[in-house]
Structure 1
Amino acid sequence: MHDLPADDDWLIERRRAIGAKILAERRHQNLTQDAVWMAAGLTRWTYQRAEYGDEVKISTLLRIAWVLDVPLAELVS
């Protein structure tokens, strides 16, 4: 078992890494943000927050993973 770090910087880094993976996969598939957020049934703001690495719901990440046709584990690993 690991103890949590004294601050939440590690969370910010991990969320940004997830956002970077979403961005990379979207670009790899040559998709626009608009195409992804509309297909995922999200608002533009919610999708942009996920891609930027802000805190989002797991259901948002599941929707994005589904639309991009990648396992959620691949985005969060």
Structure 2
Amino acid sequence: MPSAPPPIDWVTAERRRIGERIRAERLHANLTQEQVSLRSGVDRASVVRIEQGQQSPTLDTLIRLMVAIGVPLSRVVE
């Protein structure tokens, strides 16, 4: 099975922007990446990669992260 082509630049930029918003919300909630990991069930390494825009999370993962942080999903994807 062929691998997917790399994302185009604007998609990568948007993914980074969402990751930055997740990080900002986490910090605003005074939570560590480890705390979010434990609350959400998403491993810490994935939380790091998502915040840095290096990993594209599934919708389910985004929902879990935002519930763990205590803010609506719409706050990071608007």
Work out whether residues 23 and 51 of structure 2, in 8 Å CA contact, stay in contact via their aligned partners in 1.
yes
Q: Which residue of 2 aligns with 1:16?
A: 16
Give TM-score scaled by structure 2 length: 0.83
TM-score (norm 1): 0.84
One-letter identity of the residue aligned with 1:69: G
Consecutive unaligned residues of structure 2, counting only runs of 5 or more, are: 1-6
Partner of 2:49: 49
Match of 1:3 in 2: none
Deviation (angstroms), 1:52:
1.1
Structure 1: runs of 5+ lacking an equivalent: 1-6
Q: Report deviation, 1:69.
A: 1.5
Alpha-carbon distance, 1:28 to partner: 0.9
Q: Distance in 1 between matches of 2:26 and 2:75?
A: 13
Residue equivalent to 2:76: 75
Alpha-carbon displacement from aligned partner over 1:16-70 (angstroms, at most 9, x marks no partner): 0100001111111111110001110111111112111121211111101111121
Contact 1:50/1:61 (<8 A) preserved:
no
Identity in percent: 39
CA–CA distance in structure 2, aligned partners of residues 66 and 30 of structure 1: 14
Does the Cα contact within 8 Å between 1:16 and 1:52 map onto a contact in 2? yes
Matched residue type, 2:58: K
